[in-house]
Amino acid sequence: MLRNILIRLLQAVLVLLGAALLVFIMLRIIPGNPAAVLMGEHADTAVIEKMTKELGLDQPVHVQLIHYLAGALRGDFGTSYSLGKPVSQLMASAFSNTLILALMASAFAWLVGIISGIIAAVKKNSILDHLFMGVSLLGVSMPVFMAAMVLQFFFSYKLKIFPIAGTQSFAGFILPAVALGWNSAGSVARLVRSTLLEILEEDYIDTARAKGRRQMGVLILHAMRNAMLPVITMMAIQLSGMLSGAVLTETIFSINGIGRLAVQAITGRDIPLLQGTVLFSAALVILGNFLADSLYHVLDPRIRKEA
């Protein structure tokens, strides 16, 4: 099993390297001199030329690539053009916000998704089932930015329960987390429902049902354990979706996170910052997938035997 995990780790590293290369290639094709943006509208050509040299933008591409890869290995992504600080430092402070946001959103998604999934499965075809499934499909179909906008409007602007923006208090994270988790909650609920239904449709359930409600609960618990595997895999897949959604929620709620940094990097044509944030998100996804895969191996006895 250890060997298996090691191979996976090696693969993950290779993919990460490929991702780094891809980001570099994509961002080198872009026309426009970042130095000109950096120096502002009042700068004249001589000043811009000097800055171009200072940033190493006049060097051949392969030299720039080597610098970039070597830097990335050390966790050094250069200095942000638009914010004037080391990219790694900016990402470190932004990451904590994104992490809190993603964790809270996941917690929301799990809690709401699993509970409503179980209820929907147990009360199959009842009004509750239809309601939950309808809402969950709505969640999957609702653009994250719409959810965020509407939540912000009602709970912050109208009801004044939460702050409009910022993360100076914990309360500032709640609405963005709900907006972000809403989508995943829908998918989790649908998955839990269909997995449970498959099990609950078996005829021996009737026996359990006849024996009393307590056993029914135990059964659901047991069934849930089996349903957990696909849910874990799904959460790993959704990590990527969450990082995508974070771009929008962080922008709308003005949270200094990785997603908003990426948006700022684009508007500010800040290549080092864009490189850093995109690569960092990719690394997170790769890590998430690797962990989920490994966990799967540890949890699922069948796969373990095969290995």
Partner 1 sequence: MRKTTTLLTTALTCAMALQASCTALAAEDGVLRTAVLYDMTTMDVAKTSDNYLVPMNVFDRLFETRKTEGGNAQIVGSLCTDYQVSEDGLTYDFTLRDGVVFSNGSELTASDVQYTFERLLKAGQENMDIPGEVAGAEQVISKEADTLEGFKVTDDLHFSVTLSNPNAGFTAELSAPAMSIVDAETMEKVKNFGKAPEDTIGSGPYIVTEWKTNDHYTLEYNPKYWGEEPSVKKVIVNVIPDANTQNLMFQNGELDLLDLQSLDTAIVESTYKTMYESQIVSTPKVGLTYLTFNENQEYLKDANVRKAICMAIDVDTIIASLYNGNAIREHGIIPTGIWAHNDQLAGYSYDPDGAKQLLSQAGYKDGEVAFEIAQDSAADSNIKLVCQAISEQLKAVGIKANIKSYDHAAWLDLRNSSKMDSFVAVWGMDYNDPANIMYTFFGNEKNTRQRSLNYPDTATMERVSAARAVMDDTTREQEYQAIEKKLIEADAVWCPLFESLHLYCMGDRVESFTPHWAGFSDFYAADVVLK
Partner 2 sequence: MKLPNRSRQIAEEFEKRQQEQENKQQESKQQANREYLKNQIAEEETFFTLIRRLARENKLAVVSFFVILLIILGAVLAPILAPYSFSDMDLLHRLNPPGAQHLLGTDEAGRDILTRLLYGARVSLLTGVVPTVMSMVIGAILGVISGSYGGWLDALIMRLADIMLAFPSMLLAMVIMYMLGDGLINVFLTLALVNWASVARIVRAQALQLKKTEYVEAARVIGVSRTKIMFRHLLPNCLPTLIVLFTLNVPSAILTESSLSFLGLGLQPPAASWGLMVNAGRQYLYMAPWVSLVPGAAIMVCVLAFNFLGDGLRDVLDPHLRK
| Residues near partner 1, by CB under 8 A | 31-34, 36-37, 39-45, 47-48, 50-51, 82-85, 89-90, 93-94, 152, 156-157, 160-171, 174, 251-254, 256, 260-261, 264, 266-269
Residues in the chain: 307
Q: Residues 59-98: x/- map of binding to partner 2 (CB under 8 A)?
A: ----------------------------------------
Between CA 275 and CA 24 the distance in angstroms is 7
Residue 4 interacting partner from partner 2, partner 1, none (CB closer than 5 to 8 Å by kind):
none
Q: Which residue, 50 or 153, is less far from partner 2 as judged by CB? A: 153
Q: What is the DSSP letter of 307?
A: -
Rounded-to-integer distance, Cα 221 and Cα 213, Å = 13
**Least separation in angstroms between CB 241 and partner 1:** 23
Q: How many helices and strands (H and E) does the chain possess?
A: 13, 0
Q: How far is CA 39 from the centre of its chain?
A: 34
DSSP secondary structure, 196-245, as one string: HHHHHTSTHHHHHHHH-HHHHHHHHHHHHHHHHHHHHHHHHHHHHHHHHH
**Residue number, 26 or 161, with CB nearest to partner 2:** 26
Where does this chain touch partner 2 (CB under 8 A) — which range of 27-35, 41-49, 163-171, 173-181? Answer: 27-35
- What distance in Å separates the CA atoms of residue 93 and residue 104, rounded to the nearest whole number? 18
| Cβ atoms 189, 132 nearer than 8 A | yes
Do the Cβ atoms of 116 and 100 come closer than 8 Å?
Answer: no
Enumerate binding residues for partner 2 (CB under 8 A): 11, 14-16, 18-19, 22-23, 26-27, 29-30, 137-138, 140-146, 149, 153, 157, 191, 194-195, 199, 202, 204, 208, 215, 218-219, 222-223, 225, 230, 240-245, 247-248, 251, 259, 262-263, 266-267, 274, 277-278, 281-282, 285-286, 289
